[in-house]
Amino acid sequence: MNVPSTNDAENNLIKLGIELPQAPSPFGAYIAAVQTGHLLFLSGMLATAGHKPTVVGIVGKDLDVEAGRKAAYTAALNALSLSQKQLGSLNRVRRVVRLGVSIAATPEFVEHARVADSASELLRAVLGEDTMSTRLVIGVASLPFGSPIALEVILEVT
Amino acid sequence: MNVPSTNDAENNLIKLGIELPQAPSPFGAYIAAVQTGHLLFLSGMLATAGHKPTVVGIVGKDLDVEAGRKAAYTAALNALSLSQKQLGSLNRVRRVVRLGVSIAATPEFVEHARVADSASELLRAVLGEDTMSTRLVIGVASLPFGSPIALEVILEVT
Amino acid sequence: MNVPSTNDAENNLIKLGIELPQAPSPFGAYIAAVQTGHLLFLSGMLATAGHKPTVVGIVGKDLDVEAGRKAAYTAALNALSLSQKQLGSLNRVRRVVRLGVSIAATPEFVEHARVADSASELLRAVLGEDTMSTRLVIGVASLPFGSPIALEVILEVT
């Protein structure tokens, strides 16, 4: 197993001019994150701001690929914000072990990878090339509150 | 990382008057649970009893939110029963690291969180507040045997 | 926790006359596999060969159960190939901790377990009875590039 170099995520946020939103709080009888050993599991991150969806709809019907990408970016910002809150600093992220991307999509939709890349690219830009994740992308029937995106995130942390 | 207090799940079952069903056995070429380190992974738990679905259908079309909640409760009882069988005692559960809830739902459905809460609330009542999980909820097209619910469960155990 | 016996996967491949395909490379801003501790996470494995789907469609509408099983087998071959590439030898696999099977399926489809068994049976035949996994099977709306199958794989490795 490679020992990844310490990342410089907090500086990257400043360089990129990214201001993280408030970390999302749970919508039910669960908690935002659980750490077990060196693994930090996040709850599903939606395209939400302040407990409200920023966009609703099915990609391939109500929303096009660009709108899906924007929703994935919003959900990834939420994942970064929550990770920062849990860890104190994003510099403590060693690896994104798993990024799961559920896209509310039609049966005919085939451009899932382009939508998911929007989240992957943000995480790579902020956390650094050395933290790149495995990825699992599926098109689902529907998501909580009509969100077009739900992200699964498992991090390896120091 | 917090060290969670030992839970009192076996007593909670008695206090709540909950009698666990027989633990579900696999429907194919897989096994019910795998432990790796301190993590116990369960196979997908459906709304079944004795290898038969207790209810079939799509939430938002064939089934309403209450029927979905009942199915999620049944699947969560199965998860508790299987965990007890694997561990000898539910008191060995330190944390529910991940509860994933797949709901067979229509594209228009938006009340996934209410359905999933039924499983979360049962786990919290039995395993205790300190064991609360992260959660990932999606609406899928269909599930094995027509079950409206499939649960993903990862536990941290002593 | 049981200590599984060392498997004999590389010999099994020869005995079974299975020639593994080239390991799939990523379709976007992610990497093929990440190891953390003794766990190896693979990216989602599709029914692809050389970055192209070997079959496209929805099981229960465009494809029957047999076609779904064939796609699941192809995805499982990809998982074996990628694991071999990452680990040097499949003999280093101690357990399949989780096999997740997402099947692009209609709302009416109920034979998910038969489709998923095709992947499970291949992994069992090659990696051995002692490595058998937990399993989580869902029917989704659609998958990247029209693939009818996406596999989630988490291995425990030496």
Phi, psi for A94 (deg, rounded to 5): -90, -40
Predicted local distance difference test score (pLDDT) of residue C6: 58
- Distance, in Å, from the CA atom of B137 to the CA atom of B124, rounded to the nearest integer, reads 17
Instruction: Identify whether the C-beta of residue C31 lies closer than 8 Å to the C-beta of residue A133.
Output: yes
Residue range B12-30: average pLDDT?
94
Residue range B57-62: average pLDDT?
98
Instruction: Identify whether the C-beta of residue C31 lies closer than 8 Å to the C-beta of residue C41.
Output: no
Lowest mean pLDDT among A113-122, B4-13, B119-128, C71-80: B4-13
The token pair at C82 is 């990628």
Rounded to the nearest angstrom, the minimum Cα separation between C153 and chain B is 13
pLDDT, one tens digit per residue, over C34-52 is 999 999 999 999 999 988 9
Give the torsion sign (CA, B46, B47, B53, B55).
Answer: negative
Rounded to the nearest angstrom, the minimum Cα separation between B49 and chain A is 25
Minimum Cα–Cα distance from A130: chain C residue:
C31
In 3D space, the residue among C123, C105, C100 whose CA is nearest the CA of residue C65 turns out to be: C105
Residue range B39-50: average pLDDT?
96
The token pair at B135 is 């959660």
pLDDT at C95 over 50: yes
∠ CA(B150), CA(A135), CA(C3), 5° rounding? 70
Mean of the per-residue pLDDT values of chain B: 94
Predicted local distance difference test score (pLDDT) of residue B75: 98
- For B56, B133, B139, the CA distances from C105, given in Å and listed in that order, are 16, 29, 13
Interface pTM, i.e. ipTM: 0.94
Rounded to the nearest angstrom, the minimum Cα separation between C15 and chain A is 30
Predicted local distance difference test score (pLDDT) of residue B6: 58
CB contact under 8 A, C112 and B43: no
**Residues 6+ away with beta carbon under 8 Å from A5:** A130
Give percent of chain C above pLDDT 70.
96
CATH architecture of C48-157: 2-Layer Sandwich (3.30)
Give percent of chain B above pLDDT 70.
96
- Distance, in Å, from the CA atom of C123 to the CA atom of C42, rounded to the nearest integer, reads 14
CB contact under 8 A, B104 and C107: yes
Residue range A78-103: average pLDDT?
97
Residue C133: its chain B contacts at CB < 8 A?
30-31, 34
Residue C58: its chain A contacts at CB < 8 A?
107
- Distance, in Å, from the CA atom of A152 to the CA atom of C150, rounded to the nearest integer, reads 16
Lowest mean pLDDT among A132-136, B20-24, B50-54, C146-150: B50-54
In 3D space, the residue among B85, B102, B103 whose CA is nearest the CA of residue B155 turns out to be: B85
In 3D space, the residue among C69, C60, C76 whose CA is nearest the CA of residue C140 turns out to be: C60
Disruptive mutation site among A27, A30, A78 for chain B (greatest number of B CBs within 10 Å): A30
Predicted local distance difference test score (pLDDT) of residue B70: 98
Predicted local distance difference test score (pLDDT) of residue A1: 39
DSSP one-letter string for B95-153: EEEEEEEEEEB-TT---HHHHHHHHHHHHHHHH-GGGPPEEEEEEESB-GGG-SEEEEE
CB contact under 8 A, C136 and B43: yes
pLDDT at B5 over 70: no
pLDDT at C3 over 80: no
Which residues is A63 bridged to in the sheet?
A59
Cβ-based burial of C8 (10 A; exposed 0-12, middle 13-18, buried ≥19): middle
pLDDT at A38 over 90: yes
pLDDT, one tens digit per residue, over A123-151 is 999 999 999 999 999 999 999 999 999 99
pLDDT at B140 over 90: yes
CATH top class, domain B33-157: alpha beta
The more confidently predicted of residues C4 and B95 is B95
CATH architecture of A9-18+32-157: 2-Layer Sandwich (3.30)
pLDDT at A15 over 70: yes
Rounded to the nearest angstrom, the minimum Cα separation between A29 and chain B is 6
- Distance, in Å, from the CA atom of B22 to the CA atom of B152, rounded to the nearest integer, reads 18
Disruptive mutation site among B34, B43, B48, B56 for chain C (greatest number of C CBs within 10 Å): B34
∠ CA(C156), CA(B116), CA(A28), 5° rounding? 100
